[in-house]
Chain A
Amino acid sequence: DTGVSQDPRHKITKRGQNVTFRCDPISEHNRLYWYRQTLGQGPEFLTYFQNEAQLEKSRLLSDRFSAERPKGSFSTLEIQRTEQGDSAMYLCASSSYVDTIYFGEGSWLTVV
């Protein structure tokens, strides 16, 4: 079963370091979403791609965050100069047009 794959699953980093998460969507899904989830809260939307185009960014996505989806396949989410407040689970999801959105298992980030 080739669902949405995220890597790494867990990352511990020191404050001020850069981190990058990768997401491989379900094959042929043209829509890709990034969410962030902190303890006790529901997932919060960060950004959305249709193919390689980034069509929407949340205000949560500060200038330290950047997401890319080259060639409309996998996507990366980079966080520069991490802060303790960035500690969260980062979720990737994909869908095909108006079809069901499927989520990956998430990437846990701990900033120490």
Chain B
Amino acid sequence: DAKTTQPNSMESNEEEPVHLPCNHSTISGTDYIHWYRQLPSQGPEYVIHGLTSNVNNRMASLAIAEDRKSSTLILHRATLRDAAVYYCILRDVEGSNYKLTFGKGTLLTVNP
């Protein structure tokens, strides 16, 4: 599986935008970029995914570099409920089972 690199931790203030980076220099053409987050004592929660174009949904935006070797998850206005571990994962759509391979993710702290 192609690897991703994320900062171990980041800090933000409430109601400010947050940009969570992810590097994936070995990404292949069939890898989708997925983001999940995990709140304390809960299972991972799907946030957003994309292939080449930037994506928006009600939770966040995903900005993908033109060469696809990096991406950024954008939370437009952080709230205390956004404090979680955020995982950037490459998922190969041509793989036989499409499983997700998690790294350690980025622990986001949101200050009031």
Contact = CB atoms under 8 A, between A and B. Distances in A.
A35 to B, nearest CB: 8
Residue of B42, B43, B85, B101 contacting most chain A CB atoms (<10 Å): B43
Interface stretch (A11-19, A64-72, A73-81, A97-105): A97-105
B43 A91 contact: yes
A105 B103 CA distance: 19
A101 B45 CA distance: 9
Contact of A104 (B43, B46, B97, B104): B43
A50 B96 CA distance: 10
Interface of A is mostly: strand
Contact of A106 (B42, B96, B99): B42
A50 B97 contact: yes
Given A91-B43, A106-B42, A101 B100 contact: yes
B99 A98 contact: no
Interface string B36-52: 00000111111001000
A33 interface: yes
Contacts of A21: none
